[in-house]
Amino acid sequence: MKRLAVAMALLGLPLPACRHDEDAARAGRMLALQSRQQELWRQLNARVEADPVLALVLANEGEVLVGMRGALLKKLVTEVAARYLDRVALDLKLEARVVAQGDVHVRKAVLGDVTAGTWHLDLVIHRVSGVLGARTPLVEVKGDRTVTLELPVLLDKARGQATIHFAWDSKGVANVLCRDFEVTRSIDGTLLPGVHSFKGGLRLAAGDDNVLAQPTFKDVPYRLKVDLTPAAWKSVEAALNEQDSFFKCGVGIDPDKILPKLREILLQGFDVRLPKKLFRSFALPASLARSIEHNGRRLVLAIKPDALVFANDVLWYSSAVSARVEVAR
């Protein structure tokens, strides 16, 4: 080694640094890198602590954490809700009753102006059938794992079966000249199309392999406006005309005046309540593969939902995952 050093010195070549100098330089570089690493970790931890989303992710104990932004959640719920009550056949046994009455004042040549009597209407709608059609819903995502929902629904192609009972009670002088009477007819009715908005919400919960949306709609009535079919109106008119004679009730009954009043009452409508079974729970996608096959072996995952948290406009779905290896068949 000494001869090599003398020869290099005679030739004017630089002598190699000693190993001690090389070790010292290497140690210096390592210290600098370690210091830089510690500084980067310090900056990362400071940013994580300042970012509520990252802090939530690192604080969660689940092995898998899936995040769904509020905009995507709103879009998914809107798409599902738009078909929630769309093209749903409805057949309700109602037995809903509409009751009304009114006085009739007439002028006759013999009697002058008199209160001829009081009519009474009792309409019972036994059944209603139709098709529900959903319109575009209004969706708002809340921070407490709930979604508020306003769902406009149209009941179309609706018909009903009903019984109408009309009674006439003569009064005063008219009671001497004509008798009271009652008419009962089984009739068919139609329900006028109209949009009704159901207001409620969805409660989000962690399912086995998805996010469950459970409806929380209130028991809000649906207002139905009724009209009779042309044949039904003719049947009622014929029944009243049968009484239109002097010795019955011609003194007080004028179908041309009574029927418009009856129709006005029916068009005011009545409230019904849709069955709660129409509002069904549904699932939003948030699943993981249950198994993975590789080289003749299957890795089977056991996924257990752990938590569901909505924070900073992100829905977090946390799951605990365990695995076992099986031989693929």
What is the band of 6 on the pLDDT scale with cuts at 50, 70, 90?
A: very low
Q: Name the residue among 18, 248, 208, 232 with its Cα closest to residue 116.
A: 248
Q: Name the residue among 26, 81, 74, 106 with its Cα closest to residue 315.
A: 74
What is the band of 4 on the pLDDT scale with cuts at 50, 70, 90?
A: very low
What is the band of 86 on the pLDDT scale with cuts at 50, 70, 90?
A: confident
Find all residues with CB under 8 Å of 317, minimum gap 6, and list them: 65, 66, 67, 68, 206, 211, 286, 305, 308
What pLDDT does 328 receive? 56
Tell the residue number behind the tokens 């593969």, with chain if given.
289
Domain assignments of the chain as residue spans, ordered by start: 18-50, 72-284
Q: pLDDT, tens digit, for every residue of 225-237?
A: 888 888 888 888 8
Q: pLDDT, tens digit, for every residue of 261-293?
A: 888 888 887 787 777 777 788 877 666 666 677
pLDDT over 60 (residue 147): yes
